[in-house]
Amino acid sequence: MKKILTVVFLAFLTSTSLVAQSQKDDLDKVLTFLDKVSTGFKSVQTDFEWDQYQKVVDEHDVQRGVMYFKRGSNGVDVSAEITSPVHKKLVFKNNELKVYFPKTGQLTNKKVGENKETVESFLALGFGGSGHDLLKQFQIEYAGVESIGGQSCYKLQLTPKGERARSMFPLITLWINQKTGMSEQQRLEQGEGDYRLARYTNIDVNPSKLPSDAFDVKKLQAQ
């Protein structure tokens, strides 16, 4: 009986080791795929829906609009024009984060400074970044393949390495389109049952042209 138990135990260890190695190999393939996509990435335009859920009041705050991503000289520029329920625009460019509310004319500017990589990694997550560069900011686990909106996606689970980032989002799940390498969906856990679910549709990779004011708030200010 002792010999049988030993054989079973060793078989279990071998099986577990093989599964772990397989998951590691699968993760590396996905990250290498994202590396390749990143080299040809220029820009993206996509519709989005952000669903912010607060468990304590069982309430969903849903925002919709259009987002733009563009590779700039210092990384990826990001712009989100929220059209519903309140019109506002968020622009991250040249190490600065701007938020503008057209109705009130309120404009806030914030230099992100040494937090640039962290801010960019969250705002541009799943859109044009190098796969292996993610390992600088996150512990990553490969969680298989799932269909999102009819699209076959790689599922990745990211745990921020930085204490401050981890306190904001203990876990982030990404669903990456197997063909385009772009994010179809993201779920950012915020603790206590709260989360933000982001869905992306009509994703246009490297369009011939983006709107001239995609990363500008001046025209909005003039309206």
Which tens digits make up the pLDDT trace of 182-212? Answer: 999 999 999 999 999 999 999 999 999 999 9
pLDDT at 129: 87
The CB density around residue 210, as the number of other CB atoms within 10 Å, is 17
Which residue did the predictor score with more confidence, 175 or 12? 175
pLDDT at 19: 44
Q: Is the pLDDT of residue 217 over 90?
A: no
Beta bridge partner(s), residue 147? 152
pLDDT at 93: 85
Parallel, antiparallel or unpaired: strands 59-72 and 106-111: unpaired
pLDDT at 18: 43
Question: 30-77, pLDDT tens digit by residue?
Answer: 999 999 999 999 999 999 999 999 999 999 999 999 999 998 777 788
Question: 112-145, pLDDT tens digit by residue?
Answer: 665 655 666 677 789 988 899 899 889 999 999 9
Average pLDDT of the residues in 148-176: 93
Sign of CA pseudo-dihedral 167, 170, 175, 181: positive
Which residue did the predictor score with more confidence, 84 or 105? 84
Tell me which architecture the domain covering 2-222 has in CATH: Clam (2.50)
Question: 64-93, pLDDT tens digit by residue?
Answer: 999 999 987 777 889 999 999 999 999 988
Distances 135 to 26, 96, 131, 141, 152 between C-alpha atoms, Å = 15, 24, 8, 11, 23
Tokens of 122: 């969250």
H/E/C letters for each residue in the chain?
Answer: CHHHHHHHHHHHHHHHHHHHHHHHHHHHHHHHHHHHHHHCCCEEEEEEEEEEEEHHHCEEEEEEEEEEEEEECCEEEEEEEEEECCCEEEEEECCEEEEEECCCCEEEEEECHHHHHHHHHHHCCCCCCCCHHHHHCEEEEEEEEEEECCEEEEEEEEEECCHHHHHHCCEEEEEEECCCCCEEEEEEEEECCEEEEEEEEEEEECCCCCCCCCCCCHHHHHC
pLDDT at 14: 58
Rounded CA separation 17/15 (Å):
5
pTM: 0.84
Of 129, 144, 138, the closest CA to residue 181 belongs to: 129
